[in-house]
Structure 1
Amino acid sequence: MVSTHVLLADKGVLTTIPIGSFTTEARAEIASVDIAYQRWGEFRGSNVLLIEHALTGDSDVATWWCDLVGPGKALDTDSWCVIATNALGGCNGSTGPSSDLDGKPYGSRFPAVSIRDQVEAEKRFLDVLGITEVHAVIGGSMGGARTLEWTLLYPEMLQAACVIAVSARASAWQIGIQSAQISAIERDPLWQGGDYYDGEYPAEGLAAARRIAHLTYRGEMEIDERFGTSAQAGENPLGPYRKLDQRFAVNSYLDYQGAKLTQRFDAGSYVTLTESLNRHDIGRGRGGLNKALASSEVPTMVVGVDTDILYPYHQQEHISRNLGNLLAIAKLSSPVGHDAFLVEGRQMDRILRNFIQQSLPNATESVDGVEYRLGDEYII
């Protein structure tokens, strides 16, 4: 019997929960850890949907997935208790490099963390709250990596999982492109080895990292259709000399994306969380990828994007072919690329409604009234 006597934060209110000292997978010690979270909907014991955010996301899932979370929406808060945490190492309430240690920010003293560490910390957070069962874990990108690890670390706690736009391990290409982002930050003179918190912020390095990353988040077709070779209004990138203030329109767009991130995200957390993605490998210590996937007992839906550059669709196909308990594989069709799971609200609504339906006892799969055999691919 699952207890319903769990005291949760008020709906939508960012709240931190101390989980005590924490030892990372690599045996580093974090003396005291807080995990921040938000929740929507009433807790009824076995109705928790645990949502995992992407790299620069946070616990405010009702904002970044606003089309999908709320009364009557795909993640219906009239029926479900939606809980989202901020990952260990983040900068939106949970303990990370910018958090206080002995009166000063951790900075370079904050250890590297893995995806497994993030899940272990989240499990400890649920233990403290007294939540012993989660109906489903749902996450995309870095959140999808966390979701996969949940299915292997604590399968007894889950009824189902939805893994979106991620691979079973970091590929060499992903490690390379992510390490280039880390390098952009570390090469900013203001980085100071991660101990910049008492001085100037390494905004240029973080903005450069974001410009690199954003090109992997969006589709090549979308970027070209939007900008092509157009010049930014009032600027001339075809002059006799190259000048930083004479840009193509796409460069202006990327500059904007970089600057926007520096206003809301910590460079230390960006490095920490990106490194956790470099370490993502569900096969480590489990006999390899396919053996690890085959061992999964949790009914799992896999979702990919047909134009994803960062996590190409063949990586979700690989997961689906080897997963021990596949519900279905769904494909988002979009020019947007990797970010489609965040911006294609209509398609994600239909996918998540079907996922919730399938996760219930004796469920059958249906898309727009058409039934599919469980395990089949369908395209929205």
Structure 2
Amino acid sequence: MNVKVATRRESGIINIGDLELESGKVLSDVQLAYERVGSTDLPVILVCHALTGTQYCVGSEDAPGYWANLINHGGAVDLDKFQVISFNVIGGCHGSTGPLSINPETGKAYQTTFPFVTIRDIVKAQYLALKKFDIDHLKAVIGGSLGGMQVLEWGISYPEMMDGLFPIAVTPYLNDYAIAFNNIARLAILQDPKWNNGNYAADDIPEHGLSLARMVGMITYRSSDLFNERFGRELRGPVGVAHEEIAYEIESYLDYQGKKLTKRFDANSYLYLLKAMDTHDVGRERDGMEEAAKRIEKPLYAIGYAGDLLFPTKDLEQFVELIQQTGKVASFDFVPTQFGHDGFLVEFEKWGHLIKDRLEEL
């Protein structure tokens, strides 16, 4: 007989007070939206989300989170052994302080008066939130893409706070190729007439610009082999349709993905988080990547994916080698996949065991 295990789930808002940013500016009355799953008696794993992710990495039966197939009872991250906490990043739009939030000084939404934030600011806010929960030690920090950036910064900024680090589908700095695509996505939003210098109404958003920005991202998240295999130049309508009409299935797919994001994500938040990604460089103001590597104290287990256009696996592997040269424990695992960068969101059977095995080592 299969016994269904009840899981303790909690979600809400935690206030961390004022937050001084890297820029020197201070955000007042900062709040972080969170999800906390599992028994509070168990060791804590912090999960950091990607660009358009949310705090719901586990979610519920009715609304599974993006890593529900990775984090569950008996899973790679076993809820029988660990509790999981995840925060919506500052600058986001799912409950944490960001452009949609009310500025306590003006009584109006920040929109583009919201100050720029960096990955280090995001991590600092999470650190302060954990302190509010009376959590001063983590079993591990895990995250992919923008979440992986946070993992690296956690290991450098708070090197004694965790037992292990799992940076996934990420590099120690965002390269120029990725910044170039971010710039195209940014311009798509900025040139939408409805953007209105960021001062758009909730019912009149720059939908076309945000949709196009998402399409640009989707092209880079997956490999050309996957696109070609999945769509195979399949026609959706007659050849020779008007320029604005959709003829091929790949066009329909991108159009759907673009419009889908506009229903759940804020354009200003997208812009701010793209900028945070652009500034990601573990060696910035630390005398370079080699010196940054020396600051990491705890075992680091990196995972990269074949065909990742934005975060080349060779760059992550090089950073792992720098850590190894300091005498610290670090490893790199390569996952063959046609999904490219999006490999960290699918095919858990190919790499979930890597997480499980490393957690057991810790």
TM-score scaled by length of structure 2: 0.92
- 2:339 matches 1:336: yes
Paired AA for residue 341 in structure 2:
H
Instruction: Provide the residue aligned with 1:76 in structure 2.
Output: 78
Unmatched tracts of structure 2, length 5 or more? 1-6, 59-64
List structure 1 runs of 4+ shifted beyond 6 angstroms.
none
Shift of 1:74: 1.1
Residues 15, 30 of structure 2: 8 Å contact kept: yes
Residue 115 (structure 1) aligned with residue 119 (structure 2): yes
Partner-residue secondary structure (3-state), 1:26: coil
Q: Which residue in 2 is equivalent to 1:50?
A: 46
* 1:192 partnered with 2:196: yes
Q: What amino acid is aligned across from residue 205 of structure 2 in structure 1? A: Y
Per-residue CA shift, 1:202-258, capped at 9, x if unaligned?
Answer: 1111000000000111111000111132222xx12x31x642113221111100110
CA contact (8 A) 2:90 2:125 kept: yes
Q: CA offsets per residue over residues 134-153 of structure 1, 9 Å max, x none? A: 11000100000000000000
- How far did residue 59 of structure 1 move? 0.9
Partner of 1:211: 215
For residue 147 of structure 1, the aligned residue among 148, 151, 168 is 151
Partner Cα distance (1:12, 1:187) in 2: 42
Q: In the TM superposition, what is the alpha-carbon distance from 1:192 to its structure 2 partner?
A: 1.3
SS of aligned partner of 2:341: coil
| Residue equivalent to 1:243 | 243
- Aligned-pair CA distance for 1:171: 0.8
Q: Distance in 1 between matches of 2:246 and 2:14?
A: 48
- 1:307-339 Cα offsets, whole Å, 9 max, x none, are 111111112211211124333211111101101
- The 3-state SS of whatever aligns with 2:81 is coil
Which runs of 5 or more residues in structure 1 are unaligned? Answer: 1-9, 360-380
- Asked if 2 retains the 8 angstrom alpha-carbon contact of 1:37 and 1:59, the reply is yes
Query: Quick check: 1:89–1:113 contact (8 Å CA) kept in 2?
Result: yes
**What aligned pairs does 1:61-100 form with structure 2 within 5 A after superposition?**
61-62=57-58, 63-100=65-102
Asked whether the 8 Å contact 1:185–1:209 carries over to 2, the reply is yes
Structure 1 residues 225, 169: CA separation in 2 closer, same or farther (over 3 Å shift)?
A: same
2: distance between equivalents of 1:276 and 1:162? 20
CA distance in 2, matches of 1:256, 1:275: 25
Shifted more, 191-200 versus 98-107: the winner is 191-200
CA distance in 2, matches of 1:243, 1:174: 28
Equivalent residue runs for 1:11-26 within 5 Å: 11-26=8-23
**One-letter amino acid matched to 1:303:** I
| CA–CA separation in structure 2 for the residues paired with 1:12 and 1:205 | 36
Matched residue count: 345
Letter in 1 for 2:9: G
Q: Which residue of 2 aligns with 1:290?
A: 290
In the TM superposition, residue 304 of structure 1 has moved relative to its aligned partner by 0.1
CA distance in 2, matches of 1:134, 1:55: 23
C-alpha distance in structure 1 between counterparts of 2:202 and 2:342, whole Å: 34
| SS, match of residue 280 in structure 1 | coil
The residue type paired with residue 165 of structure 2 is A
> Which secondary structure does the structure 1 equivalent of 2:74 belong to?
coil
| Equivalent position to 1:181, from 185, 190, 201 | 185
Deviations 1:329-380 (A, max 9, x none): 1111110110111111112321111121222xxxxxxxxxxxxxxxxxxxxx
* CA distance in structure 2 between the aligned counterparts of 1:58 and 1:35, rounded to whole angstroms: 11
- Aligned position for 1:349: 352
The alignment partner of 1:216 has SS state of helix
3-state SS in 1 of match to 2:194: coil
User: Does the CA contact (< 8 Å) of 1:89 and 1:273 recur in 2?
Assistant: yes
* C-alpha separation in 2, matches of 1:22 and 1:258: 33
Q: Is the 8 A contact 1:12 1:38 kept in 2?
A: yes
SS at match of 2:218: helix
Which residue number in structure 1 is paired with residue 316 of structure 2? Answer: 316
Q: For 1:356-367, list aligned pairs within 5 A.
A: 356-359=359-362
C-alpha distance in 2, partners of 1:41/1:19? 23
